[in-house]
Structures are given as structure tokens and as C-alpha cells.
Chains A and B, each alone.
Chain A
């Protein structure tokens, strides 16, 4: 039954707008909601299809280039965030609390999940050569990785992928914008001072 008191119908002209012209409405909704929303949710708000909203999101992302904000897109979720190029200004304004630094194993594991997703814990361990259960747990608790499905093999192990929070942390619009990994190229050893000394892998990862 319609609510007689409130007229919140989608204006008629919006029904016939080309999808790419929905970008301003999507921008306003993202700004006002101040959180991530799915394309289906946005479609419901704007009275259009999720496919139309996917087009609108692409348009909005392009139109925001060169501005202080950008549209992050992860699977079927979008959110309006500040651009990494101006993070210095936002940090000065907000003085945000810095989360605990990630350990080196956590950074490595996160990079592996980011580039090879979706993959299982065994997939990560095959590359890192050590048990990664604790470090994956820790990344999951921090919302940087999440289960994205189950592998269709015996035991149906969990498949991990990165999250919208991961995009926030690294300041990327989409996972596809990760800098390309030169396949098979051997990258020289990293400067030792960044990673400090080599710790024993398992105790490090267990101490979460």
C-alpha cells in the first residue's frame, strides 16, 4: 500500500534518462549515504536496473578524474571516497587514528591475495612456503581479505579475495587498477632496511 503522506516517487524524466546521465544522482546518493552501496541498492533507489547503474558508475568514475573524490568499485559495490593524491590534506583535516602496522608476512600475503585472487590458503602457502593460517585470519579480521567462495575440490577450501576496505587502504578505484605484475620477471632483492631482519616465519604469524 502506498504511503499517502510521502511522495518519494522517482521523477518521470529519470525513467527515460540515458544510463550514463544517472551519474550525478548516483554521486549524490553515495555522498548522502556516506557508506558503500550495491548497484542493486542504487538501482532500487533510482528506479532503474543494476545494469544501468553499472554504466552510471563507470561514467561517474570517469567524470570524477582530476577531482578530490573518486568512486571505488568492488564487485557490485561502490563508494565515494577521497583520492589518494590528496590524502595529505585529508589526514591533516581528520587526524585519523592509524591502524596498527601490518607485519611483513601480512603485507606479502595481502599482495599475493590481491594479485592472485581468488585463491585458497594452500595457494598462498605454495608461494610463501610457510603456514599462512594465522596471517590470513588476521587480514580477515582487519577486513582486508574475505572469503569470496569455495573451491570445487575435495574439502571445498575457502577462496580468499580482497575487499572494498583493501581498496580504501591502498587508495585504488578498482582491483583492476593494481599496478601490473611483470609475469616471470625477477625483481631484485628489496633493500634490507625496509624489511629489517628476517624473522622466523611461523611464530611471527602466530602472534596475532
Chain B
């Protein structure tokens, strides 16, 4: 599932509701009321507001939370009023059909919400599942030979970010006197590749003791790719990124 998926580590509800007919977060109550899935006539809204007032008196509450609560509670009241008033007896969907411009009418909003839900399904669900439907050209062949970088450059960048995050930043109070040469790193990495043939991406940075050194190592890697001495591969999504020495035979 995506990173947006809430199924794990959901925070506790900000506005818990526990009244006859419904237990759960206030947001969920408003959402199901929107969809007409709960009988609002029987729901004691005053109990909900009383609970919230009691909590307000107990502790300092963030003004934003109060504003959010008021927004939700007023929506709930509007929905309930629409249900209880004589005109509210009209089915919400019929009301929306009669006057679709009445967006302040909860019935019309419900109909509109359903429209967008259907539009989201028709238009966006495939793109969300399958990825983008259109592409810019990706890699400029003069800059990075695509046959030597078989994965998206972003993926390489993300892997390198992960390396950087593991290493301590240079202490800003010290004046570092050590300098790191990309040339030296390139020679070092070349020797390592010749000796080992293939390295895992993180092995390229195994000896790095600072971010500066890791940056030099990464530049050295790019340099070897550019010169045709190394190739970067990844076995499928989330697979290990590997760096392989390109020998003169293989290259030719």
C-alpha cells in the first residue's frame, strides 16, 4: 500500500464520539452522515457538543482544534436540520436533481460528492495504480549513457540520500583540514571494482566516514559510469542496486 495508507499507526481520534447510535471519531460520523448512512434524527448532537465543551474546560485546547470541531459540528447540525425540517423530507438526491446549483444544500453536496467520487474512479484510479499515463523524455543520452544506467536516476539519488542520512554531518564548529579528492576516490573505487567485479551500492560507501567523503564517492561512481568503466543495475523495484565493473571486452 502507499505511504498515504492509514491502516497503520493512525493517530487517536481528536474528537471521539460516544453517543447512542454511534461510537467513533466525529469526522467519521460527519462522513457517514454525508452519505446518508446514519439516522441523524435519532442522534443527540447536543451530547456531542457537551462532551467537547467538557474537554475544553479540562485542558488547554489548540484553537485550530476548536475551529475544526466547530466546522465539523456545524456540518453535522446542517445535515441534521436538513433531515428534520419539512423540506428535508425530500430525498437528498432528488433535491440535488431539482436544483443542482444549491451547493449549500447538504443534499446537493452529497450528490456533488458522489459525482467526484465517480470521477476520481474513472479518471484517476488507473493512473494511481499503474503510474503516470504520459512521460517526458527521460534521460539525455549525452549526459548519462542509458545502457550503463539501467535504473531511473531518481532511484540512484534516493539510494544515495539514504547513505547520506546514515552518516554524521560535518561538525560546523570544526574547520575540517582534511580534503577529499574525487580523483583519489575514483581510483579507489576503480581498484575495488576490478578486485570485486560487483559491489552493492552501500559497499561503495562502506569506508566513508563523513558526508563529504560519501559525496566524493558518489561523484567517483558517476565518473566511472560516464567513462564506461562501471554499470549500475537494479533487479526490479526495491531490489538491491549493484555496481558492476565494465571490462574492455564487455564494453566493446
Where the two chains meet, the residues of A that have a C-beta atom closer than 8 Å to any C-beta of B are: 31, 34-36, 70, 72, 79-84, 87, 90-91, 94, 96-104, 106-108, 110-112, 114-115, 125-131, 138, 167-171, 178-179, 181-187, 189-190, 194-195, 198-208
Most chain A CB within a 10 A radius of its CB, from B4, B111, B133, B237: B4
Q: Looking at chain B's contact residues, is the secondary structure mostly helix, strand, loop, or mixed?
A: helix
Residues of B within 8 A of A34 (CB): 136-137, 140
Whether B2 contacts A103 by the Cβ 8 Å rule is yes
In the complex, B32 has a CB within 8 A of chain A? yes
Where the two chains meet, the residues of B that have a C-beta atom closer than 8 Å to any C-beta of A are: 1-11, 13-14, 24-25, 27-28, 30-34, 68, 71-72, 75, 93, 96-97, 100, 103, 108-109, 111-125, 127-138, 140, 152, 154-155, 237
CA distance A103 to B10 in the complex (A): 14
Residue of B71, B109, B123 near A170 (CB, 8 A) is: B123
Residue of A83, A94, A125, A204 near B71 (CB, 8 A) is: A125
CA distance A170 to B131 in the complex (A): 9
Q: Looking at chain A's contact residues, is the secondary structure mostly helix, strand, loop, or mixed?
A: mixed
Residue of B4, B115, B138 near A207 (CB, 8 A) is: B4
CB closest residue in chain A, given B236: A95
Assuming the A-B contacts A91-B131, A114-B123, are A103 and B4 also in contact, with contact meaning beta carbons closer than 8 angstroms in the complex?
A: yes
Whether B13 contacts A98 by the Cβ 8 Å rule is no
Residues of A within 8 A of B34 (CB): 128-129
Assuming the A-B contacts A130-B30, A181-B119, A194-B121, are A204 and B10 also in contact, with contact meaning beta carbons closer than 8 angstroms in the complex?
A: yes
Whether A99 contacts B6 by the Cβ 8 Å rule is no
CB closest residue in chain B, given A142: B4
Residue of B1, B10, B119 near A115 (CB, 8 A) is: B119
Whether B13 contacts A207 by the Cβ 8 Å rule is no
Residues of A within 8 A of B93 (CB): 186
Assuming the A-B contacts A126-B103, A187-B115, A203-B25, are A167 and B14 also in contact, with contact meaning beta carbons closer than 8 angstroms in the complex?
A: no
Whether B118 contacts A190 by the Cβ 8 Å rule is yes
CA distance A29 to B195 in the complex (A): 45
Shortest A107–chain B CB gap in Å is 4
Residues of A within 8 A of B27 (CB): 130-131, 200-202
Shortest A42–chain B CB gap in Å is 16
Most chain B CB within a 10 A radius of its CB, from A72, A184, A198: A184
Assuming the A-B contacts A103-B2, A114-B123, A207-B5, are A168 and B135 also in contact, with contact meaning beta carbons closer than 8 angstroms in the complex?
A: yes
Whether B120 contacts A108 by the Cβ 8 Å rule is yes
Residues of B within 8 A of A186 (CB): 93, 96-97, 111, 114-115
Number of residue pairs A-B, CB distance < 8 angstroms: 204
Residues of A within 8 A of B128 (CB): 101-102, 107
Residue of A94, A98, A110, A187 near B124 (CB, 8 A) is: A110
Residue of B33, B96, B131 near A184 (CB, 8 A) is: B96
Whether A203 contacts B155 by the Cβ 8 Å rule is no
Residues of A within 8 A of B3 (CB): 100, 208
Assuming the A-B contacts A128-B113, A131-B71, A170-B127, are A87 and B133 also in contact, with contact meaning beta carbons closer than 8 angstroms in the complex?
A: yes
CA distance A201 to B4 in the complex (A): 12
**Top-10 shortest CB links A-B:** A171-B133, A184-B100, A204-B6, A100-B2, A203-B10, A202-B27, A84-B133, A111-B120, A129-B34, A187-B118
Residue of A127, A199, A206 near B109 (CB, 8 A) is: A127
A/B interface sample: 10 pairs, CB < 8 A: A94-B138, A96-B131, A111-B124, A130-B27, A169-B132, A186-B115, A187-B117, A194-B125, A201-B25, A202-B14
Assuming the A-B contacts A83-B134, A168-B135, are A101 and B1 also in contact, with contact meaning beta carbons closer than 8 angstroms in the complex?
A: yes
CA distance A115 to B117 in the complex (A): 12
With A167-B134, A201-B27 known, 18 other A-B pairs at CB within 8 A are A34-B136, A81-B136, A94-B152, A96-B135, A100-B2, A100-B4, A101-B1, A101-B128, A108-B116, A111-B116, A115-B116, A129-B113, A131-B68, A184-B96, A184-B97, A199-B7, A200-B24, A202-B14
CB closest residue in chain B, given A135: B4
